[in-house]
Amino acid sequence: MPELYKSNDISREIYFQGYIDAYISRDIRELTVVSNVESFKEFIFSVASRMGEQLNYTSLVMDASISVLTAKAWLSILISSGYVIY
């Protein structure tokens, strides 16, 4: 069981920020080089907030301030690492 559920003393925001940071530093850097980590985080949050919606690259691109080619590449990374099912 994750530490988040074991203790009321852990901030959900801090816990999930640490989770995303660990995911990027360990899993993503093994697959590819992400030049702008902050934009990648914005992209992850944008993808997560659109769960269950039809894929719209324009919205993802605007949220993360990236190109469509970058959005497609980053979505491919999320799919190959098992965080997104497409």
Alpha-carbon torsion angle 78, 79, 85, 86, nearest 10: 110
The alpha carbon of 78 is separated from its chain's Cα centroid by a whole number of angstroms, namely 7
**Per-range mean pLDDT, top range of 6-10, 13-17, 42-46:** 42-46
For residue 54, pLDDT over 80 is answered with yes
Residue 1 pLDDT grade (very low, low, confident, very high; cuts 50, 70, 90): very low
CA distance 12 to 28: 22
- Whole-prediction pTM value? 0.71
Virtual CA dihedral for 85, 73, 30, 84, nearest 10 degrees? -10
- End-to-end CA distance of the chain: give it in Å, rounded: 27
CA distance 31 to 83: 13
d(C-alpha 16, C-alpha 18), whole Å: 5
